[in-house]
Amino acid sequence: MVHRVVAGIDLKALARNYRRIAAHVRPAEVLCVLKANAYGLGVAASARTLAAAGCTQFGVASLVEALELKKCLKGLKGLGRCDVTGGRQPSIVGEGLSAPSTVDGFDIQILSSALPDEIPEMVRAGVILPIIDLPTARLVSAEAVRARRTVRVHFKIDTGMGRLGILADKALEVIREVTRLPNLACEGIFTHCPVASDPKNPYTRRQIARFRDLVVAASEMHRFAKVHMAASDAINSFPEAARAPFTMVRAGIDLHGGFDPNGRKTLKVESVLTLKTRVAQVRDLPPGTTLGYGRTWCLNAPTRVATIAAGYADGLPLALSNRGFVFVGGRRCPIVGRISMDYTTVDVTDVPGVKPGDEVILLGRCGRDEIAPDDWAALKGTHAYDILCSIGTRVVRVPLD
**Residues annotated as catalytic (active site), given as ranges:** 35, 293
Q: Say if residue 80 is exposed, middle or buried (CB neighbours under 10 Å; 0-12, 13-18, 19+).
A: exposed
* Residue 338 and residue 321 in contact, taking contact as beta carbons nearer than 8 Å: yes
Q: Cα–Cα distance between 279 and 341 in angstroms, integer?
A: 15
Q: Check whether the bond before 120 is cis (ω within 30° of 0).
A: no
* 28, 246 contact by CB (below 8 A): yes
Sign of CA dihedral 352, 357, 359, 360: positive
Rounded Cα distance, 51 and 11, in Å: 12
d(C-alpha 217, C-alpha 224), whole Å: 12
C-alpha span between 176 and 196 (Å, rounded): 30
Q: Which residues, at least 6 apart from 355, have a Cβ–Cβ distance to it below 8 Å?
A: 279, 282
Question: Closest Cα partner for 399 from 2, 4, 55, 10?
Answer: 10
**Cα dihedral sign, 45-48-52-57:** positive
Q: What distance in Å separates the CA atoms of residue 78 and residue 285, rounded to the nearest whole number?
A: 59
| Distinct helix (H) and strand (E) counts, the chain | 12, 20
112: Cα within 13 Å, side-chain hemisphere? 13
The conformational region for residue 174 under phi > 0 = left, psi -120 to 50 = alpha, else beta, is alpha
